[in-house]
């Protein structure tokens, strides 16, 4: 699509030398509009067959279950707990606040997987009300800012952000899930379980005189409170329309998340279904 758009722009740029290319594009676009019934869709389409899309001959779209990251990142997918063998060590003289601050900032940087999750939900929820589509777009924008805030904060604290291992288990678990379950999973086991901790770290940062971290986490906390409140409101509405209950959807989301963790090799054959939402939040992050 980008390449096609570039060719259109090039045709207009070259129009000063020759109108042939520009006229060809105009004819092509006008034919497409006519075949679709005009700009407002009210006219009867032409007698000829609509122009076939290049993708029409391909099979149905199937999303890859595994994500991709910038090649400068080191990634890990066995957990979102930042205490594994490959993890980044805190400075030896770091206190509890410094360690918690580093972990919270890393969680924010790794919310790349929240961007992907909400984008998948937006794509997969066919026929979703416009207000919900706009809300999901807002969530995607917020999470992109959170991730960038985390990346910049790591650098401010003296780290090379690309050398800080990046957890990707959250998106690996959620990618294959139906949109309603994916939405329930990130809302229930992600955002709902982190808002209290974000408020605590923001307050501690202010007390420690770290105003940059305090303000950054404060804004993120406000965003996440909105996500929890509005996300659960829409989740309840979608669940009601599906003919089931919110409790049933949340339980199914929990069971499917555990199943995906088993498929990803995070949980062994003897994994139990008594894993709590808090356990899942620690494994998956947001």
DSSP label at 163?
A: G
The predicted pLDDT at position 84 comes to 43
pLDDT at 63: 78
| Residue written as token pair 């991709």 | 68
DSSP code at position 190 = I
Phi-psi region of 245 (alpha: psi -120 to 50; beta: other; left: phi over 0): beta
**pLDDT, position 54:** 56
At residue 34, the pLDDT reads: 79
Task: Check residue 140 and give its pLDDT.
Answer: 97
Give the Cα separation of 285 and 166 in Å (integer): 12
Q: Considering all CA atoms of the chain, what is the largest pairwise distance in Å, rounded to the nearest integer? A: 77
pLDDT of residue 94: 63
Alpha-carbon span 216 to 158, nearest angstrom: 17
Task: Give pTM, 2 decimals.
Answer: 0.73
Q: Is the dihedral of CA 166, 125, 123, 265 positive or negative?
A: positive
pLDDT by 10-residue block (mean), the chain, 286 residues = 80 69 76 76 60 60 80 81 54 76 92 94 92 96 96 94 89 90 86 83 95 96 94 91 86 86 74 67 64
């Amino acid at each position: 699509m980008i390449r096609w758009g570039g060719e259109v722009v090039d045709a207009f740029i070259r129009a000063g030398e020759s109108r042939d290319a520009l006229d060809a594009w105009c004819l092509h676009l006008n034919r497409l509009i006519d075949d679709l019934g005009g700009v407002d869709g009210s006219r009867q389409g032409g007698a000829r067959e609509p122009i076939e899309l290049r993708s029409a001959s391909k099979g149905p779209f199937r999303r890859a279950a595994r994500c991709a990251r910038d090649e400068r990142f080191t990634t890990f997918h066995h957990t979102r707990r930042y205490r594994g063998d490959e993890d980044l060590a805190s400075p030896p003289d770091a206190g509890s606040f410094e360690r918690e601050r580093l972990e919270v900032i890393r969680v924010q940087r790794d919310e790349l997987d929240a961007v992907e999750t909400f984008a998948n939900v937006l794509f997969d929820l066919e026929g979703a009300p416009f207000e919900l589509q706009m809300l999901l777009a807002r969530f995607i924008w917020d999470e992109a800012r959170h991730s960038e805030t985390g990346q910049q904060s790591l650098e401010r604290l003296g780290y090379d952000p690309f050398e800080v291992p990046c957890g990707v288990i959250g998106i690996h678990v959620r990618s294959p899930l139906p949109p309603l379950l994916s939405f329930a999973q990130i809302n229930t086991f992600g955002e709902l379980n982190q808002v209290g901790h974000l408020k605590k770290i923001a307050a501690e940062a202010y007390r420690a005189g770290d105003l940059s971290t305090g303000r950054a986490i404060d804004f993120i906390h406000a965003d996440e409170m909105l996500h929890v409140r509005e996300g659960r409101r829409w989740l309840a509405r979608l669940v009601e329309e599906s003919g089931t209950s919110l409790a049933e959807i949340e339980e199914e989301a929990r069971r499917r998340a555990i199943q995906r963790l088993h498929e990803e090799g995070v949980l062994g054959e003897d994994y139990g279904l008594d894993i709590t939402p808090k356990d899942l939040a620690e494994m998956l992050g947001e």
